[in-house]
Amino acid sequence: MIRVGQLLLVVAAIGLWVASRLPWVAVTSSDGLGQPKTSTLTGGTWSNALIPMAVLLLAAAIAGLAVHGWGLRVVAVLVALVSLVLGYLGVSLFVMPDIAPRAAELAQVPVMSLVASQRHHLGAGLTLAAAVVALLAAVLLMRSAGSARHTAARYAAPAARRTAAGSGDAGSERGMWDAIDEGHDPTEHDTEGR
């Protein structure tokens, strides 16, 4: 499950990188002397947090290899927070009533010379999709943090397994091998009963 979460984080990071390259806003300005000029703002210019968030998601995917238990839970919470920020960045383009003033500032064009502005929704939609994928990855990381305890018990020392189980069950195959590893004869109990 943790591998799927890591893969989803990588997919979300790639989606953010693509969204940062796509056009988000186009502004057309005219100084009254020549033809109107159109400036296109990419996602990286419009929302300069996209690339750092993509790097953060990649770092979280790598951290999933190194941390377990509570550390993995902390990573999952951070990824969930990042997904909320990404959702805000994506939704803001759709709900912002007037993009012209901010677009003019980013394009370094005087607001008075603006003729038109246009939104391109593909990059913002891809950012929203990356936010959903990152949130799903956070859920998977959180769930795998809980199941990591059971996986760790599978590789525990024989004495630790018996302590966790409450008794050394010599009747099971695993219990027999543990007894042999400790230098005991697992069949002693059977011969005493005869």
Q: How sure is the predictor about 190, in pLDDT bands with cuts at 50, 70 and 90?
A: low
CB under 8 A, 24+ apart: contacts of 109-116: 109/27, 109/29, 109/39, 110/29, 113/29, 113/30, 113/31, 113/32, 114/27, 114/28, 114/29, 115/28, 115/29, 115/30, 115/36, 116/27, 116/28
Structure tokens at 172: 């099971």
23 in Cβ contact with 74 (< 8 Å) = no
Per-residue pLDDT, averaged over 71-96, amounts to 91
The three-class DSSP label of residue 170 is coil
pLDDT in tens, 12-29: 999 999 999 999 999 888
pLDDT in tens, 31-57: 777 788 888 999 989 988 999 999 999
What is the rounded average pLDDT for all residues in the chain?
Answer: 82
In the chain, the amino acid numbered 85 is: V
Structure tokens at 186: 């697992």
